[in-house]
A and B are shown apart, each in its own frame.
Chain A
Amino acid sequence: MRYAIHVDMDAFFASIEQLANPRLRGKPVIVGGRPGTRSAVASASYEARAFGVRSGMPSHEAERLCPQAIFLPGNSSRYLHTAVRLYRVLERFSPRVEPASIDEAYIELHTREDIREVARGIQAAVESELELSASLGVSDSKYLAKVCSSFSKPRGMTVLMRADVPYVLWPRPVNALYGVGDKTAARLHALGCRCVGDVARLSTRTLEQEFGVYGATLHELASGRDRWRVVTTREAADAKSIGHEHTLGRDVYERSRLEALLCGLSEKVARRARRAGMAARRVVVKQRDPQFRTITHGRKLARPVDSAEEVFAVGCALLDETRFWENGVRLLGVSLQLLVRTDSVRQLRFEFDSHGARSSPIVDRIRSKHGEHAIGLARTLEAGRRSRRGPRHPSFQAPREAFD
């Protein structure tokens, strides 16, 4: 029989920090930006969660709930290294592993053994090799595995088969459905749906009238039906978009500072696109003002672009078109969409000869050799966000003596 298992690491970043530093164990640890900044909680230990701290919560709110919490800045390379080790452990149980994010993955298994025993084996292997705990959702549906992995945390395991949906899933509140947040839940409440079963009992037509195409999806999910399948990294399709956004330390009203930031973001997304061998036919700029009003404004291009200069030029034009930035900017983002493979672009003989396009491969080679901050557009320096320091450390000198 075919099963899907969702492996969800418990308080992943915070647990890694507590594992490395025993002084943090048993204490409320929050990984994310420090209070006083505009950043959010990336991960909170269970000791911090006991005070109501949750991932995604603003750091100042987390500090208010748990003033004694220890805030740590986070270490992405360490977390990524641990995630890769997790995927290697899971691949011993099945070649069909889908990394869903840095702290969760799906496994597809075909077995006649007791699936609970197999799942316990996976949980034990993760715990013994990584010294970190995981919660598992087990089902004959990938979607249900995802839903039920959160039913019992930490170190939990929940089995939810399609046949059990009316007994297990239907009595739960509508927020138990994947993708249903507070806003969608409020709209479902207005339709008289308090629990998942109410959504399943509504007609697809009624849900489509309220939610459009998403209404049919909601009905399928509430009924325990899904078209999800485990997709391994090798099978994964190319990215649909590449984006990067930045919340500013203070609201920005000066055009020059905004352009410097836009330039830095353009460099990042263009570099990622080139690494993936993609070019974009649409550039989108996202702006959020101090009153939390957000607009996204994009432009479809005559030919695909993959250089920072070209993305930046389109971004500047988009800023001019909306003039939204004049209200002040709290968050700025750049996204590349309608991606096409660069090799197909070249086959179609699109012109790829702008100055930016010519210099990009050289810039990429310099960065690959000397690091991401080794070179960049001078304009980004205006933001004061990047320091171009030389080597920070003197050359190695052999110890004068083997100290004891």
Chain B
Amino acid sequence: MIETIDEPIEVLARFDKGRMAPFRFRWNQTVFRIAKVTGNWEDREGQHRRYHFSVLTENNDYFELRFHTGDLTWILSKTSLEA
């Protein structure tokens, strides 16, 4: 099931050839290594863009992360606990 989290997290991201891709993040004192970015999209919150990423970790856990350009924060949006 998909669960909404909406908590700030720390993220390491790679900026390359005009693209941004997260590759590691820490949530609840646990570090998750991202094995694959399975999707990305963007929207706006007022004048600021938000970049969204759906990712799979090395443990095959599913997460959705988003980057707020307004205050440069990363948020863990959702996770899939079981399906």
- The answer to whether A and B assemble together is yes
Contact, CB under 8 Å: A82 / B10:
no
What is the bound-complex CA distance between A380 and B61, given in angstroms? 40
Closest Cβ neighbor of A76 among chain B residues: B43
Residues of B within 8 A of A21 (CB): 38, 54, 62, 80, 83
Q: Which of A75, A77, A374, A394 contacts B42 (CB 8 A)?
A: A77
A160-181 vs B, Cβ < 8 Å mask (1 yes, 0 no): 0000000000000000000000
Q: Could you tell me if A403 and B41 are in contact, using CB atoms closer than 8 angstroms? A: no
Set of chain A residues within 8 Å of B65, measured between Cβ atoms: none
Residue of B nearest to A404 (CB): B31
Number of residues from A at the complex interface, CB < 8 A: 33
User: CA separation between A21 and B26, bound complex, in Å?
Assistant: 20
A396 touches B12 (CB 8 A): no
Q: Could you tell me if B62 and A374 are in contact, using CB atoms closer than 8 angstroms? A: no
B46 contacts chain A at the CB level, 8 A cutoff: yes
Q: Contacts of B12 on A, CB cut-off 8 Å? A: 399, 402-403
Mark A45-77 against chain B: 1 for CB-CB distance below 8 A, else 0. Answer: 000000000000000000000000010110101
In the bound assembly, the distance between CA atoms of A370 and B44 in angstroms comes to 10
We find that the number of chain B residues with CB closer than 8 angstroms to chain A is: 32
Is residue A302 within 8 Å, beta carbon to beta carbon, of the partner chain? no
Partner of B83, one of A70, A82, A403, A404: A70
**A374 to B: closest C-beta gap in Å:** 7
B52 & A24 in contact (Cβ 8 Å cutoff): no
Give the A-binding residues of B (Cβ under 8 A): 1-2, 6, 8, 10, 12, 24, 26, 31, 38-39, 41-47, 52, 54, 56, 60, 62, 68, 71-75, 80, 82-83
Interchain CA distance A81-B38 in the complex, whole Å: 14
The answer to whether B47 touches A22, judged by C-beta atoms less than 8 angstroms apart, is no
Cα(A370)–Cα(B43), bound, Å: 13
Query: Given that A20-B39, A70-B83, A403-B31 are contacting pairs, would A371 and B45 also be in contact in the complex, using a CB cutoff of 8 Å?
Result: yes
CB-CB contacts below 8 Å: A367-398 with B: 367-371, 374, 391-396
A20-B54 contact given A82-B41, A369-B46, CB 8 Å threshold: yes
Please list the residues of chain A having a beta carbon within 8 angstroms of any beta carbon in chain B. 16, 19-24, 27, 70, 72-73, 75, 77-78, 80-82, 367-371, 374, 391-396, 399, 402-404
The answer for the CA separation of A72 and B68 in the assembled complex, in Å, is 24
Give Cα distance in the complex from A40 to B58, angstroms: 35
Q: Are A368 and B31 neighbours in the complex by a CB distance under 8 Å?
A: no
Asked if residues B43 and A77 are in contact (CB atoms below 8 Å), the reply is: yes
Report how far A292 CA is from B43 CA in the complex, Å. 36
16 pairs, CB–CB < 8 Å, chain A vs chain B: A19-B38, A19-B39, A21-B38, A21-B54, A22-B38, A22-B56, A22-B62, A23-B60, A24-B80, A75-B41, A80-B41, A82-B41, A369-B47, A370-B46, A395-B71, A395-B73
Given contacts A24-B83, A368-B46, A369-B47, contact A393 B8 (CB under 8 A): yes
Contact among B52, B62, B68 with A77 in the assembled complex (CB-CB below 8 Å): B52
- Most chain-B CB neighbours within 10 Å: which of A19, A70, A78? A78
One of A19, A22, A82, A394 near B8 (C-beta < 8 A): A394
B6 contacts across to A, CB distance below 8 A: 392
Q: What is the CB-to-nearest-CB distance from A276 to chain B, in angstroms, rounded to a whole number?
A: 18
A72 adjacent to B2 (CB under 8 Å): yes
Given contacts A70-B1, A391-B71, A393-B73, contact A16 B46 (CB under 8 A): no
* Residues A396 and B52 in contact, CB atoms below 8 Å apart: no
Contacts of A374 in B (CB 8 A): 46
CB < 8 Å: which of A16, A75, A396 contacts B72? A396
**Residues of chain B within 8 A of A369, CB atoms compared:** 46-47
B80 A23 Cβ-Cβ under 8 A: yes
Known A21-B62, A27-B83, A72-B2; contact A403-B71, beta-carbon cutoff 8 A: no
